[in-house]
Homo-oligomer: A and B are copies of this chain.
């Protein structure tokens, strides 16, 4: 049961930091650590280390021109979300995106959300 190394799938800890970077924009380790600390107790050097690993994996880029390096996501939130969805579609939905979509929708979905999705479906139909 080997893993696919071609896909750059962030681990959970990495995804936590990516989420912060998408919200904050480029940030130093200190800034990121402060934000993480609002919801978790994680050491400063732990955050630093994970960012260094993410840099090796090219999940983030960094500006080293100043002493405190400034980290930024290598890929947009959109691209990463799509990648994570693609992975889940393959591993849990037999490759069928529509099955995933239909499973995601349930009676907790609001009228507004339903309307938003309808509009997107209309747009997609026009394009094809």
Chain A residues close to B by CB (< 8 Å) = 1-3, 12-13, 15-16, 19, 40, 42, 46, 50, 78, 80-82, 84-85, 88-89, 91-94, 97-98, 100-109, 111, 113-114, 116-118, 120-121, 124-125, 127-128
A1 touches B111 (CB 8 A): no
Select the residue from A46, A109, A128 with max chain B CB neighbours within 10 A. Answer: A109
A105 to B96, CA, bound (A): 11
Which residues of B sit under 8 angstroms from A78, Cβ to Cβ?
Answer: 103
CA distance A29 to B41 in the complex (A): 41
Contact of A113 among B50, B80, B97, B106 (CB under 8 A): B97
Main secondary structure of the interface of A (DSSP, over half): helix
Could you give 5 example pairs across A and B, Cβ below 8 Å? A1-B40, A81-B93, A101-B104, A107-B124, A118-B118
**Inside 8 A of A84's CB, which chain B residues have their CB?**
88, 92
Contact of B97 with A85 in the complex, beta carbons under 8 Å: no
